[in-house]
Structure formats: structure tokens, C-alpha cells
């Protein structure tokens, strides 16, 4: 069997751990919407609440953040009728397949994950076991749908390679061709949106400086101020994208502009070449406000009715189970679990 024999299916997830950034929007959500709208794949999108608790989450915050993330998905254009939208804990098949993958993945594979090293830091003795095993659950999220394509930002690449390793080892150990070897979809100008204060660091909600990022909750004034103050260099914009090679902050702003305006980098350079920052930054800020404000307005509207959000997620979970449960049952059969009920 090759991947072409599987139903073309997209899976991706975002942690409801609060603090959504422009990186999440351009690197992930906007691309989820594009894949849904392309209509070539069945799309399954998930709020991965079980991943979130690998580090401490206050329960009330987790609830709010899950609903806020659902609102972010919908306000950005994920249509819960066309796509399947739900929170991970409501589909137990993820954790169940995750356990099987805990027994397939090797300790050595997990300990090489850079995200584990970064997040556990110097105090890995005190990190949760869940944080260490996290990538096996992520592989289960994807493979319990036999997903063929996974759109993510660049920082998830290593986890997707591990997903492929887990699928290949399972298939090999059990002598089957059961799990697809998933294709990461890491493309576009915003696959790695960088910090506004240091172009060598990823834009992240965990950066101590709020000036380093655009939060999805920022108002128009904050967005404009942050872009105006974004670090750059003294030179004007060059006449080609290659001219930005050693100018990470400048390149990042051009990449953000290209992603927000849905144009190629080259096309954007044609328009902005030779511009001074004093002219480019207000253009970028206006574009960002134009694209992001309607999302935050719609999020606020949706969050007025949390009951409706819960109903949407519940319906999504039922649809997700229709795909996941038979795949889990077949996995149990392959592994040799007796189906006694």
C-alpha cells in the first residue's frame, strides 16, 4: 500500500494553553482554512487539551482557553460543518492509540526531541512523564485518522518525523501496511514567524516581552505600535528577496506582509523595494489590522455563547469518533488484543 491508497485527509492541532499569536495564525490556522477551502482533503482540526496538561494548566483557564481557541478556529474561517472541529479529550481513541505508540516509540527517540530538551530545561527530573511522551500522543492524534497530510509551522517538523518513524516501526514490527507515512505540510512565507524584537528567535507566547509578538487579542493600537517599534536595521528594503538573506528582522517583516496579503515574497518585493522602514511599517500595520480585527471581533461575538461552542465541539467529537474508532479497533486486532465485548 502507498499513501495514495489512503483517503486524502488533513489533521492538525493547536494547544489550548492560552496566548494565541500571529505565529499560530499565519503558520497554522490560516493554512488550515486554505486546506479546507481547497476542498481536496477531509480536514480534521483539534484543540489538544491533553497535550496542554503536560505542563500545569489551571482548570478554569484550560476551559476558557479551549473555548477561546475554538472561537479562534471558527472566526478565522474553519467551518465546523465542512471540517471536523473538536477537543482531543472527548475522543478517547487518541489516548488509547497513544498508549500503544508509547510501546512502539523508543526512549532514545524521545530524548532527542529538541522541544523536550527546551521545555524540560535543566530540571528534566521534575518534568512530567507526559511531556516526555508527548510526541507519541501527537503521532496518535494524526494516525488515529490515517491522516495523510499535516499542516504545521516549522517548529513541529521533528515531531512529524517521529510520527513517520512510529508509523514505519509499527508497520514493520507487526508486518502490516496499516499506518500511512504522513506528509508534513510546512510551506508558505510564514512557516516560521519570528520575534519582533529578535529576528533569530521564534515568535512565541512564552517570550517574556509582550513587544516581541502580536497577540490575537491585541487591539489596532497595540498592533500598530508593535510593528512601528519592531526591530529593523538602518538600510532600506532591497530590490530582491535574496537581498534580505542576512537581515533576519527585515526578512521577517516582509514574510509577515506576504503571508497576510496572500502574495509571494517576490511579488511583495516588487512593490516595496527601496522603501524606508518609516513607509513600510505603517503599510504592514494597516494590513495586519485589516486582516486581524475582524477575527477578534468575531471571536468576541462567538464567546458570548459558550454553550453553542460546546455544542459545536461535541458534534465534531462525534464525527471524529466515526473515523477514529474503527481505526483503533483494527489496531487492537493487529496488536492481538482480544475483543471481548
Q: Which residue is nearest to ligand TYM (CB)?
A: 27
* CB of 151 or CB of 337, closer to ligand TYM: 151
Q: Is 104 in the site for ligand TYM (CB under 6 A)?
A: no
Any residues with CB less than 8 A from the CB of 74 and at least 6 apart, and which?
A: 80, 85, 298, 302, 312
How many other β-carbons are positioned within 10 Å of the β-carbon of residue 125?
6
* CB of 24 or CB of 232, closer to ligand TYM: 24
* CB of 212 or CB of 331, closer to ligand TYM: 212
**In the complex, minimum distance from the CB of residue 16 to ligand TYM, in angstroms, rounded to a whole number:** 8
Q: Is 215 in the site for ligand TYM (CB under 6 A)?
A: no
Binding residues for ligand TYM, how many (CB under 6 A)? 26
DSSP assigned state of 202: B
* CB of 210 or CB of 236, closer to ligand TYM: 210
* CB of 12 or CB of 76, closer to ligand TYM: 12
Handedness of CA 263, 266, 271, 273 (dihedral sign): positive
Cα separation, 76 vs 292, in Å, equals: 9
DSSP assigned state of 195: P
Q: Is 258 in a helix, a strand, or coil?
A: helix
Report the catalytic residues.
119, 202, 205
Q: Is 20 in the site for ligand TYM (CB under 6 A)?
A: no
**In the complex, minimum distance from the CB of residue 115 to ligand TYM, in angstroms, rounded to a whole number:** 8
Cα separation, 151 vs 29, in Å, equals: 9
**In the complex, minimum distance from the CB of residue 218 to ligand TYM, in angstroms, rounded to a whole number:** 15
- Considering only CA atoms, give the Rg of the chain: 21
**In the complex, minimum distance from the CB of residue 239 to ligand TYM, in angstroms, rounded to a whole number:** 27
Q: Is 144 in the site for ligand TYM (CB under 6 A)?
A: no
Decide: 91 and 20 in contact? Cβ < 8 Å.
Answer: no
Q: Is 143 in the site for ligand TYM (CB under 6 A)?
A: no
Cell 511579488 belongs to residue: 267
Decide: 18 and 58 in contact? Cβ < 8 Å.
Answer: no
Binding site for ligand TYM (CB under 6 A): 11-15, 23-24, 27-28, 48, 51, 138, 141-142, 150, 152-153, 155-156, 159, 190-193, 202-203
Amino acid at each position: 500500500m502507498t499513501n495514495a491508497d489512503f483517503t486524502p485527509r488533513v489533521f492538525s492541532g493547536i494547544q489550548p494553553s492560552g496566548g494565541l499569536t500571529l505565529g499560530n495564525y499565519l503558520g497554522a490556522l490560516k493554512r488550515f482554512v486554505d486546506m479546507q477551502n481547497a476542498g481536496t482533503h477531509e480536514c480534521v482540526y483539534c484543540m489538544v487539551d491533553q497535550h496542554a496538561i503536560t505542563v500545569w494548566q489551571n482548570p478554569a483557564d484550560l476551559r476558557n482557553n479551549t473555548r477561546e481557541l475554538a472561537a479562534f478556529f471558527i472566526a478565522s474561517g474553519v467551518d465546523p460543518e465542512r471540517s471536523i472541529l473538536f477537543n482531543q479529550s472527548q475522543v478517547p481513541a487518541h489516548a488509547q492509540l497513544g498508549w500503544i505508540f508509547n510501546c512502539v516509540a523508543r526512549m532514545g527517540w524521545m530524548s532527542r526531541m529538541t522541544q523536550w530538551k527546551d521545555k524540560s530545561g535543566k530540571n528534566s527530573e521534575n518534568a512530567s512523564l507526559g511531556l516526555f511522551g508527548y510526541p507519541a500522543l501527537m503521532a496518535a492524534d494524526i494516525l488515529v485518522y490515517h491522516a495523510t497530510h499535516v499542516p504545521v509551522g516549522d517548529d513541529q517538523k521533528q515531531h512529524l518525523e517521529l510520527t513517520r518513524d512510529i508509523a514505519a516501526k509499527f508497520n514493520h514490527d507487526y508486518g502490516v501496511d496499516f499506518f500511512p507515512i504522513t506528509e508534513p505540510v510546512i510551506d508558505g512565507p510564514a512557516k516560521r514567524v519570528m520575534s519582533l524584537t529578535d529576528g533569530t528567535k521564534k515568535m512565541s507566547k512564552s517570550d517574556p516581552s509582550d513587544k516581541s509578538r502580536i497577540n490575537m487579542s491585541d487591539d489596532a493600537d497595540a498592533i500598530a505600535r508593535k510593528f512601528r517599534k519592531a526591530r529593523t536595521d538602518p538600510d532600506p528594503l532591497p530590490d530582491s528577496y535574496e537581498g534580505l538573506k542576512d537581515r533576519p528582522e527585515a526578512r521577517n517583516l516582509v514574510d509577515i506582509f506576504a503571508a497576510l496579503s496572500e502574495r509571494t515574497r517576490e511579488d511583495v518585493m516588487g512593490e516595496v523595494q527601496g522603501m524606508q522602514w518609516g513607509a513600510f511599517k505603517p503599510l504592514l500595520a494597516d494590513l495586519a489590522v485589516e486582516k486581524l480585527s475582524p477575527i477578534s471581533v468575531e471571536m468576541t461575538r462567538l464567546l458570548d455563547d459558550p454553550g453553542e461552542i460546546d455544542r459545536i465541539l461535541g458534534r465534531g467529537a462525534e464525527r471524529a469518533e466515526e473515523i477514529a474508532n474503527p481505526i483503533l479497533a483494527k489496531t487492537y486486532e493487529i496488536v492481538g488484543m482480544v475483543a471481548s465485548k
